[in-house]
Amino acid sequence: MKKYKVTIGMEIHVELKTDSKMFCSCKNELGLDKEPNKNICEVCTAQPGTLPVPNEKAVRFVQLAGLALNCNLRKESKFDRKNYFYPDIPKGYQISQYDQPLCEKGELKINGKKIGVTRIHLEEDTGKLTHPKGVDYSLVDFNRAGVPLMELVTEPDFDNGEEARIFCQKLQQICRYIEISDADMEKGQMRCEANISLYKDGEDKLSGTKVEVKNINSFKFVEKAINYEIKRQMETLESGKKVMQETRGWDANHNKTLSQRVKETAADYRYFPEPDIPPMKFSDEYIEKLKRKLPELPDKKLKRFLSEYGLDEKDVELLVNEREIANFFEKVVSEIEEKIKSKEISSDKNKVIRLAVNYFNTELRKYLFENQEKIQDIKITPENYAELMGIVADGKINSSTAQTVLLEMYETGVDPSQIIEEKNLAQMNDGGELEKIILSIIEKNPESVTDYKNGKDNALKFLMGQVMKETKGKANPQVAMEILKKKIV
């Protein structure tokens, strides 16, 4: 039996994709701004006499996130002042939420396990400090100050770093599905903090000393930072020392956590209600209207795709990972169904759909990655993609030719039938024409024919290769193979 057990909770900040900042009309460019202090005004730089006006869309975005995570939405909520004094906090306090957050008591399933969501609240982001090399001063960029920031706090339900990583990835996916944030960690739009403590087996799981790890800017580092901290605290306790309650940062260059400061408590922040913003009240009708705006979420979409299309779960996971890709695929399926009804496609629907998934998850996804493009920006329409899949399924072109046609479609947007006709790529299914070519190849390669008759299967592959070479890849492989075997025998 282990002497110590681990308790892990997460605090995750997500910058919201609103047009303006949280309490003023300045542009919210979510990390795209390159000119320091470009998007600032009297309010977000805390000039005397200015007053905050809450961003209604930011409030709604947080409530949508709460609904997506099965939270209770409070009918009464308010903003509070969280007091702390850093150079990137222009007011000397942050407008946040303390005892009446917008959302409470939710959950998110990962690998069949429920992770509790304690609360989701709304606050304003801080500015950004930069430290130029070779000088003895720092600079402050207030472009980020006042950007709407959603903070999600989980229950201490994680057992290891892997679970925390998966949770963060699923949260990012949900944020993108409900279109409240791109939650891009590289751009600082999603920032993860882990709270880790160890306790003795048999004692209360919250009896250990909590250490918070900040500055985690990738999913991979979330897992690494937590696993490192578990090991560090374990070694500290087993050596007879005490773990200090503190804030640590993740050093990605050395793969370890480093001490930053002694951890503040809620009392240190001296929370009190924000006097310049009235409390918010929400009706049942308002909450019901919000629920109707919630799109189909990834887990539900995955189950439906599995049920309706009979696909492998791994393939479906790739499809539903991004909402735009899932939408594109659904339009493709709709086009396939229409083309089958009109007799344009003669193959079985499930066969065509499976082909559509295979070509998407291999060829088309490769082109998207290589060109750093999103599915909504490509030249291929769902109708043309469905047409190509029907052509392949009906045996009018082979797999190799299909890849050539798909690339041409990706580059030009031209429909597949036109490409096949213009480049004379249609598959040869004419037995008589193929027979003439095959007889000629047999006559030119007597040694290979003899080898095949003596039981060497590679000789048949060689002869088949010669057929494909002679027909420039257009021969129907199945028809050609049948003729080849008959003529050799």
What domains sit in the chain, N to C, each tagged with a CATH number?
4-291 (no CATH), 296-422 (no CATH), 431-488 (1.10.10.410)
Q: Are 458 and 410 spatial neighbours (Cβ–Cβ below 8 Å)? A: no
Mean pLDDT, the chain, whole residue set: 91
pLDDT computed for residue 430 by the predictor? 57
Q: Is residue 426 over pLDDT 60?
A: yes
pLDDT computed for residue 31 by the predictor? 61
Tokens of residue 39, six digits? 């998007």
Listed residue (364, 350, 482) closest to 429, CA to CA: 482
**Mean pLDDT confidence for 172-186:** 95
Euclidean distance between CA atoms 448 and 373, whole angstroms: 47
Residues 290-322: pLDDT tens digits? Answer: 999 999 999 999 999 999 998 999 999 999 999
pLDDT computed for residue 262 by the predictor? 75
Pairing of strands 256-262, 272-273: unpaired
pLDDT computed for residue 76 by the predictor? 97
Chain position carrying tokens 């998850």: 361
Residues 204-231: pLDDT tens digits? Answer: 888 888 999 997 889 999 999 999 999 9
Give whole-number Cα distances, 433 to 396, 398, 425, 427, in Å: 16, 17, 16, 12
The model's confidence at residue 1, banded by pLDDT at 50, 70 and 90, is very low
Helix axes 161-177, 56-68, angle to 10 degrees: 130
**Mean pLDDT confidence for 233-243:** 91
Residues 348-363: pLDDT tens digits? Answer: 999 999 999 999 999 9
What are the residues whose beta carbons fall under 8 Å from the beta carbon of 319, sequence distance 6 or more? Answer: 305, 325, 326, 329, 357, 360, 361
- The pTM for the full model equals 0.85
Euclidean distance between CA atoms 445 and 466, whole angstroms: 10
